Structures are given as structure tokens and as C-alpha cells.
Structure 1
Amino acid sequence: MPASTTINKPILIFPAGVPRSLDYLARCQRDGQAVIGSSSLAYDVSKPAYPEWAVLPYVNDPGFPQALQELIAHRGVAGIYTPNPVVWSYLHDLLKDMDSPVKLVNASPVHDEMSGYRAATAHARKTQATPLPIATHAGGKAPLAELQLAALFRHGNIIPGMCDDEKISALYEIARHCTRGDVVEIGSAWGKSAFILARLARLYEIGKTLCIDPWQSEYVTQNDDGGLVDNCIHQYDYDEALRVFEINLLPYSANDINYLRLPSVDAEQHYRQRRPVHSPSFGTTTYAGKVALLHIDGNHAYAAALADVTAWAGHVVSGGWIIIDDYIWPYGDGPQRAGDEFLNGNKDRISCAFVMGTALFLQLQ
């Protein structure tokens, strides 16, 4: 919101009933910003959601400019929000012609809608132009086309999570240099990195993706330095987090994605003893029983991180990868200590090792 607006002077939201308008209403209500909803419909179902309401003619009605001026004057409107491209363009010119102190509070909706796609295309081009020079014995598979890479970035970044574009680029490069087998992720949360891994596994025919996460509060205490991470645990609803994971991943599953709602060590016992995994949302998926790519991003307490590495690293086959996320972590050194212990104890098994962003990447000989 521009600095010229205050919580005491209302923002006019017009038209008020479209999804982006309702999202903006929720944001204003969180911030304590006064709002007026408005519509040109004789009856708008969104009206009860707004504390104040006004009716305006359609923007192509000759009486619209006068009606808007009167509404601004009588209700003390400080700014206008509209997610409709036609309305935004019209108001942008009208307010200028009126020499009104009231301005649109949002940029062009077309720009807003397209910005994520433009950014994804830019990341795809950058990734193609600056491939990660991986020193590995495994021959790299063909790079993805720009469109495939842009889709990977765009769909991945719609999902909330901490997997940034630098890490997505690194995951893409190691997928090109990965053998066949299962892709196993420890700690999936809302499913952002799980989507990236599953999509790459399908594109490069690596194997099926298995996500491991207890999605229960008693397993997420990190014992981080200062307790900043542990202090925010209460903000999460872990049943809801699993539902969000399912919503995010289900459209992309073709019987090649599933999950175990178990602590990592218990899930390893299941994986070692039986190949099929069943969940109500994804059905039954049968795994190979050998891991080509292991992504560890579970509990970051040292004991938990070490337990994840110890339990699962033995399943990773020659040419496979182990990724320890948050190897560089400002709240503690649990993942780094676990990663260093594995490095020091398995030097003869590791053919490639590097840190990219905050993650440690290891490829086994």
C-alpha cells in the first residue's frame, strides 16, 4: 500500500467479488486498513464480506466518472484497488484526467499475473546459459528445453517452501547426472522440493518419488540456537500441512509419487521390508528398493539429522546422490555435523561433493 494511505481512510476495492479482490480484502483486514467494497452488479454475493459497500455503474456507463467522484468525496476514499485489467486501464487514465489525488494502489494486473511466468522464463534461460560444472563420472543427459525448465520453476514456485531458484537449478543439474532408482525425500512439508524432485525424476526417467514426513508436531523440535525456530512451531497445523502437500502433488502424480507419514527411521524399516507404499490420496505405489537420489531435509537437530543420514545412506546406489539441505543453517549446525561425519567416514565412496546455496551435494562412486 502506498505511504499516502492510512488505515483510517478507506481503500476502494472494485470490482469487489473476484478472487484477487477478496485476497486483497483479507490482507487489508490483517493490516487494519479500512476498505469499501464496490460492484456494478445489482446483487453481489461478496457484499457481506465487506464492512462497507457501494454500488458503481459499469465503467462504460457515461455516468461512471461522476459516480466515482461523488463516492471518493463522500466516503473519503484514499486509493483504489482493482485486479481487473480493463477496469485498471480505464481508471489509470480517468484518475489522471480528473487530476485526482486518489491513485490506484496496485500495479497493472497484467504485470502482476505475468510476473511469475516472466521470472520463470528468465531463470530457465539463466540456468541454460550457466550450467553447473559437475565433476562426475556419470555422463550427463540432455538439457531440458527452455519451456520445460520454465515450467519447472513456475510450478515449483507456486508451492510455498524454502527451495530457492539456485537450489532448483542445482537439483536440475544433478538429475541430469543421476542413475536410476527411487527418489526419497526426508521432510516434505508442503511439497515444494518434492514437486521439483518428482518432476525431474519423471523427465529424466530416474524413478518414483517417495516422501517421508511424520507431519506431527512432536517430531519437529529442532533445539536450534536461541530457540527462534522452535518458538514458531505452534503456528503450524500439521494435518493441514499434509493436506496442502496432497493438494500440491496430487495433480502431478501418475502412480509415481507417494508418502509415508512416519518418522524417518520408522519409514526406513518399512522401505527395507516391503516395496509397496499405500496412502489414501495417492493409492499404492511400488518402489524399486534402491535409492538414486536422497534428499534430507527433516529435523535439523544433530541427533535427528545424523539418524536420517545413517538410516538411509546405505540404500543409495553407485552413481546416486545424497543432498543434505541446510548444511549451512543460521540456527544451528546439526545438518553440517551430520554431513561432515558422513564425508569423513566415506571418502572412498564419494566421487563428487560440493555446496550450492545452503545444501551439501554428494555423489557416490
Structure 2
Amino acid sequence: MHASPTALNKPILIFPAGMPRSLDYLERCKRDGQTVIGASSLAYDVSKPAYPEWAFLPYVNDPGFLEALQLLITQRGIASIYTPNPVVWSYLNEVLKNLQPAIPLINASPVHDEMSGYRSAMAHARKTLATPLPIASVVDTKPALPELQLATLFRHANVMPGMCDDEKISALYEIARHSVRGDVVEIGSAWGKSAFVLARLARLHDIGHTLCIDPWQSEYVVQNDTGGLVDNCIHHYDYDEALRVFEMNLLPYSANDINYLRLPSVAAEQQYRQAAAVYSPSFGTTNYAGSIALLHIDGNHAYEAAQADIAAWEKHVVAGGWIIIDDYVWPYGDGPQRAGDEFLAQQQQRISSAFVMGTALFLQLR
């Protein structure tokens, strides 16, 4: 929402004020300095203290609703209305044309808002299934997922915060269809979006268990990026909170096949090499094979860090396994690309397939 200074002084009515989307919109208004008034039909609404101004309105099917709304608009100088309730929205969309034609509903139909993410997921699934990647793989191709399963992957992933876009999800889906069995290991998991995608694909294609490696500590996040734009935003993140968000995102999908190590990459590799089981209070104990089918490297993007991640973990990747180097194309520096190109040059005899999709480099070993 981008409002002019004049519009900021004209209140937006949020009604019903206690719905989750109403409260989300309230926070956006507060950040933008927008004047808002909350309204409810409940005699006592627990959301009332969250609003700077408050009003009572009867239910929309009450005979006195329109008169009460008209009075509220006049007395408070309301300029627009936000409602995430589909019944209220549909009713106001009709009656405001005659009651107050100058007062718009500020949001589109809530039904459209609620369904847009699902519709987008179905569209991405259909597109991915219609245009499979022509991967020159050494592994037999597994059957395509049903459209609904793939749409579910897109939808659930895109509810989670993170930088894993739909193009990359499509690529991960495709290489999972050309994967041998083994562990799925991710270096750098943050909030868990790509970890969810990998874990879900690993289960659907019977690949193996997923292990996420991340220190979730600020001192390991310094990228030394060109211009310092990335490093300058480090202080905005709470890394203990990031781990909690990761756990909240992954726990509903875990069946003793997902876990994590809160360690720097090289230290985590030593533990992985020495023990087949990983324990965490949130996920319990997960047993791993000790050999990797899919290695996703998305940790610190400084050249030295990316090189160390590859050197530490690539030896565990089995024949036919995949190495994904994320942000191989990265506008803030060339660390992952330099490290990836060095690996390509040094290990070309081991590599059977290589391609870039989106910003990631995908490599399959012979």
C-alpha cells in the first residue's frame, strides 16, 4: 500500500477487525503511517486493543447495519474500507455503489486473495509437467509426480519465507526424478524453504533422509559481498528466531526423516562422517546412510566459504548423485561461481551432466 500524505490522514475502516488478514493489514497500515479504525460486531472483541481507534457495527444482516455504517463514515471521515470477510465484501461491493459511491473497497475479493496462491501453484505444476527438463542423466528417470502432488509442493513451499523461487523448485523436482538413493544434505537452510522442497521430494521419490546444516549464528553469515549490501543487512536478522521458524516450517512434515546440525559446515561434516545418527530436541533421532544423493550448497557465499563447503562435502556424494551450488549467478559477488568453476575444471572426469537453471549450478556425478 502506497498512500499520499493527504490520504494517510483519511482513515481506512477495517471490518471485521479481528480476522487474521485484518490484523496483518493493520500492521501494514501502522508501518506506512496510515490512519485506521477497527470495527467489530462482537460485544467484546479481543483485537480491540491492537487498534488506535475503534467502533462497533452491527452484523451485516442486521436491519440497522447500513444506517450505522453511514453514520460511522460521516462522523469519522472514513475514506475507504478493507474487509477480508467474503460475505461482508460481497455485500458492501453492492450496497456502497448507492450508499457511498465515493467510498471504495480497498481490497479485491477475499475469495480471489485466498485462492490466488493455490491457483498459482496449480499453474506452476501444469507448466512443469508440460515442459520437463531434457536432462542427460546417468540415472533412469522416475515417473512424474501427479499434478496435485506437484502443486502441493509449490503451494506449501511458497507459504514459507525464503529465496527458493518456482524455477528452482521445478529444477529440484526434475533432478529428484534422476536421483539415486542416499542422504539429502543442505548446507545453509535459513528458514527452511528449500529444505522443505528437498525433504518432500526425497520422500516422494524414495531417495533418503534430509539433513540440514546451518550454524544460525551471525558471525558465520559475513559474505564479504561486493559493495557490502548483503553484509549491511545482517543485523536485521535474529538467528535464534530463524532456527525456530525453520523448525516450525519443517516439523509438520517430519517422520524421523528430517533433522539438522547447528554447526558450521566443515564441523558438521566431521560429525556426519563419524556418526550415522543425528539428534535434535525438536526432531528426535534420525539415522543417515552416510553417503549423499543430493548435496545442496547454499551457505556463506564468500569464495573461501563456498570452496570449503564443496571440498568438505563433495567426497560423500555417490556416483549418480547431484551437487547443487546455489547462487552460482549472484549479483553481489562471484564466490559460488568461482568455487563451482574450479570444481568443474578439477573434477570434469567425474561429472556426467551440468547445467545452470535460474541462479543455481546443477552437477551430476558419473
TM-score range, shorter chain: over 0.9
TM-fit CA distance, 1:44? 1.1
Whole-Å separation in 1 of the counterparts to 2:48 and 2:265? 48
Q: Is the 8 A contact 1:224 1:332 kept in 2?
A: yes
Calculate the TM-score normalised by the size of structure 1.
Answer: 0.99
Equivalences for 1:115-154 in 2 at 5 Å? 115-154=116-155
Q: Deviations over 1:331-360 (max 9, x none)?
A: 000000000000000010000000000000
Q: Which residue does the alignment assign to 2:209?
A: 208
Whole-Å separation in 2 of the counterparts to 1:55 and 1:137? 67
Please state whether the residue corresponding to 2:282 is helix, strand or coil. coil
Aligned pair count reads: 365
Equivalences for 1:163-312 in 2 at 5 Å? 163-312=164-313
Amino acid at match of 1:33: Q
In the alignment, is residue 89 of structure 1 matched against residue 90 of structure 2?
Answer: yes
Q: Which residue does the alignment assign to 2:15?
A: 14
Q: Deviations over 1:248-304 (max 9, x none)?
A: 000000000000000000000000111110001000111000000000000000000
Whole-Å separation in 1 of the counterparts to 2:187 and 2:295? 8
Q: Which residue does the alignment assign to 2:77?
A: 76
Whole-Å separation in 1 of the counterparts to 2:74 and 2:2? 19
List structure 1 runs of 4+ shifted beyond 6 angstroms: none
Whole-Å separation in 2 of the counterparts to 1:167 and 1:97? 49
TM-fit CA distance, 1:138? 1.1
TM-fit CA distance, 1:99? 4.6
Please state whether the residue corresponding to 1:6 is helix, strand or coil. helix
Q: Deviations over 1:111-159 (max 9, x none)?
A: 0000000000000000000001101121100000000000000001111
Sort the Cα spacing of 1:333 and 1:2 in 2 relative to 1 into closer, same or farther, 3 A. Answer: closer
Whole-Å separation in 1 of the counterparts to 2:123 and 2:181? 30
Whole-Å separation in 2 of the counterparts to 1:3 and 1:44? 28
TM-fit CA distance, 1:166? 0.4
TM-fit CA distance, 1:56? 0.9
Calculate the TM-score normalised by the size of structure 2.
Answer: 0.98
More deviation in 133-142 or 3-12?
3-12
Identity %: 79
Q: Is the 8 A contact 1:138 1:178 kept in 2?
A: yes
Please state whether the residue corresponding to 1:71 is helix, strand or coil. helix
Whole-Å separation in 2 of the counterparts to 1:364 and 1:45? 58
TM-fit CA distance, 1:48? 1.2
Q: Cα RMSD (Å) of the superposition?
A: 1.0
- List alignment gaps of at least 5 residues for structure 1: none
Q: Is the 8 A contact 1:292 1:316 kept in 2?
A: yes
Q: Is the 8 A contact 1:2 1:105 kept in 2?
A: no
Amino acid at match of 1:326: D
Amino acid at match of 1:78: A
- List alignment gaps of at least 5 residues for structure 2: none
Please state whether the residue corresponding to 2:8 is helix, strand or coil. coil
Whole-Å separation in 2 of the counterparts to 1:323 and 1:158? 23
Amino acid at match of 1:314: K
More deviation in 173-182 or 16-25?
16-25
Amino acid at match of 2:61: N
Q: Is the 8 A contact 1:152 1:196 kept in 2?
A: yes
Q: Deviations over 1:187-210 (max 9, x none)?
A: 000000000000000000000000
Equivalences for 1:52-71 in 2 at 5 Å? 52-71=53-72
Amino acid at match of 1:118: R
Whole-Å separation in 2 of the counterparts to 1:352 and 1:345? 15
Whole-Å separation in 2 of the counterparts to 1:291 and 1:2? 48
Please state whether the residue corresponding to 1:244 is helix, strand or coil. helix
Please state whether the residue corresponding to 2:142 is helix, strand or coil. coil
